[in-house]
Amino acid sequence: MDITVIFEKDSQDKGLHCGWGIAYLIGDEVLFDAGEKYEYLADNFKKLGVSTDAIRHIVISHNHWDHRQGIWPLLKEHGGMDLWVCEDFAGEFKSELQGHTVHIVEGVQPVIPGVFTSGCVPVQYKNKKICEQALVIKGKEGLCVVCGCAHPGLIDIVREVTEYFEVPVYALLGGFHLMDKDARFVRYLSGELRAMGVKKIFPGHCTGYDAIKILEEEYREDCMTLKTGMKIAVS
């Protein structure tokens, strides 16, 4: 199964849009988050040769504008989508989601065969309660965890996913929210993830350039920074 980076903060091709927020396509039919603006996504879909007709499931990691803003035109274009969202998102946009199947996520749930939501976890962010979920992809080498912003904390996310599935997390991908963390913490985090069995890491979005540089130093060839247009094989 491939993960196609539809939208990220940087791009590997000048012809593709990049900016704030993320959008990752899991296989052909699962879209994880929807970036800051649908016009950017639509143009990237076209240039990457991706048909939105195949997308049947949309997972919104958490209710921040840069992760859900691009969803609305897509829902208008395609009826009967399956949406996997946390309760705060579902409550705020109840009327906009009419005509689609809305799954209000609590614990781990399958989205398609081999792809699961990790379950929505409440967390305090800037003195406000939000809920966030990640995606878990089962592969031959272990689990790949796809994060939106990882507000609940990478160590806790990896620990809980590993305990639930009783399979080690082989790869971590997405926004890690380390842009406000100092170098000492990022190095500590890297060591903890290594000790937990995480062998490959793909940072992007809110990880922060300084943190990414440290992760590249720590993980070396096993660290690859996410950029719009990339395709990553999960085996």
What is the distance between the terminal CA atoms of the chain, rounded to a whole angstrom? 7
2-233 adopts what CATH topology? Metallo-beta-lactamase; Chain A (3.60.15)
C-alpha distance from residue 124 to each of 61, 69, 128, 167, 174 (Å): 15, 22, 5, 28, 20
Length of the chain in residues, anyone? 235
pLDDT tens sequence across 135-190:
999 999 999 999 999 999 999 999 999 999 999 999 999 999 999 999 999 999 99
Contact between residue 109 and residue 30 where contact means Cβ atoms under 8 Å apart: no
pLDDT of res. 235: 73
Strand 135-139 and strand 142-147: pairing? antiparallel
pTM of the model: 0.97
pLDDT of residue 79: 87
Q: Report the chain (235 residues): mean pLDDT per 10 consecutive residues.
A: 96 95 97 97 97 96 97 93 97 95 97 98 93 96 97 98 97 97 98 97 98 97 98 90
